[in-house]
Amino acid sequence: MNYPDGRRYEGEYKDNKRDGYGIMTLQDGGMFEDGSRYEGEFKNDEPNGQGVFTSPDGQHYQGGFKDGKLNGKGIMNYPDGRRYEGEYKDNKRDGYGIMTYQDGGFYQEGSRYEGEWKNDKRDGQGVMTYLDDGRRLEGEFKEGAFIGG
């Protein structure tokens, strides 16, 4: 089905709502970025359950959705080479997860953080390991910053 705003949906319906397996492509910058694609489970007209989201800039997520947002366990590959594998809540990293930094920027290639996240930031018990010198920060993180071991 093609929508007036440029969205395109192919899949199952129930009571005139997207429900079951389907593919949604968005051209309007609405639910996701322009030209993004979601393939997976729908319930009550929203992505719910397991699915795959891809964006034109190379962002790729595979995992859980609830009410159209990233929720539950998933894997996100970012265009700059970072990879996050862990828990999400309302589109944000939240719970236990592992982030590997491979962009050669602020963190050297292969550096990684393993531990707790809250509101998209390192928060709680965790370990940050730096590849360049083997240094490890192990202990408590708060709003992205290391506060002590």
Which residues, other chains included, contact 27 with Cβ-Cβ below 8 Å and sequence gap of 6+? 5, 6, 7, 8, 34, 35
Chain segment 9-34, per-residue pLDDT in tens? 999 999 999 999 999 987 655 555 46
pTM score: 0.85
Chain segment 40-76, per-residue pLDDT in tens? 999 999 999 999 999 888 899 999 999 999 999 999 9
Phi, psi (rounded to 5 degrees) for 131: -70, -40
- Boundaries of every domain in the chain: 1-79, 88-149
